[in-house]
Structure 1
Amino acid sequence: MTVDLVPIQGSLDSLKSQVKGSKLVIPSISIGNVPQLSADLFIHNLQTKLVAQLDSTYLYPFASPVDYVDNGKQVDHDVGVSTALELYYNEELNLSIIQQRSPILSDYSQNFLDYLVSVVTELEFNEVLLLDSNDHALKTDLNYSDPIELYSNDLNERFKSLNVSNTSNLDKAKELFTPFVSNLIHNLNNTTTITALLIYVYEGDNFYDAELFTKKALDVLNISIPSNFQKPKSWGGVYGDRPIPTGYEEGLFG
């Protein structure tokens, strides 16, 4: 079986050789889009490079200009269009990141899940970190100061220092995570080292949640946290690009 994807440069074999043995980050499409926002922060703060466009057959059609950080530096892109599902890589960190920019088509969740499993298997990633978010109203314990949960099939002493609730129980993970991520954990659990992070959030301006979540994910991966996150240009208009009105003369809604 050959996984369906398009390497940006070189052949499929050269891509496999490049990313084999690396850790892979996979975001879910879930409440507040926090996992996607977190993947953006990974991509734009860890000097990643786009290495492949993945098969987006089971996602809603999507295309956009290539996103970038507006920091005065010249933007250099190997491709001119971003697609719905892409793979990025940082050689120094030996880290791969999938960014999913479009929801799954109705009734095709299982097909898409099977495809992601084939990507993990065929490209021989060493570990997988799943990023997920859920409604804060569903948080069942009373520790509201800690909105992050962790599942791993390889819990070790290092996780105890992360100040998150953690479990290695599959049934517990099924209760905590969204259905798609729960199924992905189930499908990969016996063949791959998996860690899954979940953050409870309310729908709204979730940029702060994304930064908090990304810091915790970097902790899990044992990667240094940037002092300040650079945000991509696309974030500028997500919640409007004008300041909040300060008086009636500016109108109730700006």
Structure 2
Amino acid sequence: MFVPCGSSAPPDFEGFTLLLPAVSVGNVGQLAVDLVIFTLDMPKVGYFYTDCLVPMVGNNPYATAEENSTELSINAEVYSLPSKKLVVLQIRSPFVKNKYRSFCQTLLSWVKSSRCAKVILLSSSHAYQCDDQQLHGCSNGIQMAVLLKFCSEGDNIPDALALVNYLNEWLQLVKSEQNSTAPATPSQWKIPHSWRLLFGSGLPPALF
């Protein structure tokens, strides 16, 4: 369930678009959501408390200075930008075995009670498994769209940039500096500093 930050009253998400990633191939959806949160400087407004995700805690992935680098982040957090009627649920850990359906039910209940206008799911799938049947679904009475990027495991930053650009063509979250109608370029998406450790911290020099 949604838990607001601090002791403040729950924010109003009526009419908002909910954006969230699927935990999928190459973490492409999660990387794309990172780009949206960091580029738009979206403030954290709460957490999504659930026992359906593997527990995790870490430093603030969107830290910009020493002052906010010690803030802690957990496996499911909620960010909001009222000026764009956008709320984002970032998921940072995989599902506990056999808990996927339970999580979906809890999420749907929150979406309905929050009266969000629509849901957009950013996902990815193995390129060799491309099948038109994957592009169809149902949404339990909620307006829902899935943006799916077929890709392979590896350096999936280009896939995340491509996926977030597809999203931007629709929602117009970021405008091109040269032309307001042109699509955003990769340089216009701000890369979180935490991405420097996507592939680890490198080999210790002592090995050589």
Measured against the shorter chain, the TM-score band is 0.7 to 0.9
Structure 1 residue 21, shift from structure 2 partner: 1.1
Q: Which residue matches 1:81?
A: 72
TM-score by length of 1: 0.70
Q: Which residue matches 1:219?
A: 169
Is 1:37 the counterpart of 2:28? The answer is: no
Q: Which residue matches 1:151?
A: none
Amino acid at match of 1:120: V
Q: Which residue matches 1:6?
A: 3
Question: After superposition, where does 1:187-202 map in structure 2 within 5 Å?
Answer: 188-190=139-141, 192-202=142-152
Structure 1 residue 122, shift from structure 2 partner: 1.1
State the distance in 2 between where 1:86 and 1:68 align: 12
CA distances 1:86-145 after superposition (whole Å, capped 9, x unpaired): 1100121111111000111001111011011112111111111111110001125xxxxx
Identity level (%): 26
State the distance in 2 between where 1:26 and 1:11 align: 23
Question: Structure 1 residues 75, 41: CA separation in 2 closer, same or farther (over 3 Å shift)?
Answer: farther
Further displaced range: 195-204 or 227-236: 227-236
Question: Structure 1 residues 75, 206: CA separation in 2 closer, same or farther (over 3 Å shift)?
Answer: farther
Structure 1 residue 242, shift from structure 2 partner: 4.7
Q: Which residue matches 1:231?
A: 191
Kept after mapping to 2: 8 A contact 1:56/1:84: no
Q: Which residue matches 1:54?
A: 48
Q: Which residue matches 2:93?
A: 102
Kept after mapping to 2: 8 A contact 1:8/1:51: yes
Structure 1 residue 27, shift from structure 2 partner: 0.6
Question: Structure 1 residues 116, 209: CA separation in 2 closer, same or farther (over 3 Å shift)?
Answer: same
Q: Which has the larger radius of gyration?
A: 1
Gaps of 5+ in 2: 176-183
State the distance in 2 between where 1:208 and 1:35 align: 12
Q: Which residue matches 2:130?
A: 139
Kept after mapping to 1: 8 A contact 2:60/2:68: no
CA distances 1:174-199 after superposition (whole Å, capped 9, x unpaired): x215xxxx7xx53x342x22111100
**SS of 1:92 mapped into structure 2:** helix
Amino acid at match of 2:115: E
Q: Which residue matches 1:160?
A: none
Moved over 3 A (4+): 9-12, 73-77, 240-243
State the distance in 2 between where 1:211 and 1:241 align: 22
State the distance in 1 between where 2:50 and 2:75 align: 6
What is the count of residue pairs matched by the alignment?
Answer: 196
State the distance in 1 between where 2:87 and 2:16 align: 6
State the distance in 1 between where 2:108 and 2:174 align: 28
**SS of 1:6 mapped into structure 2:** strand
**SS of 2:30 mapped into structure 1:** helix
Q: Which residue matches 2:59?
A: 65
Gaps of 5+ in 1: 141-171, 244-249
**SS of 2:105 mapped into structure 1:** helix
Structure 1 residue 76, shift from structure 2 partner: 4.4
State the distance in 2 between where 1:234 and 1:61 align: 19
State the distance in 1 between where 2:200 and 2:8 align: 41
Q: Which residue matches 2:105?
A: 114
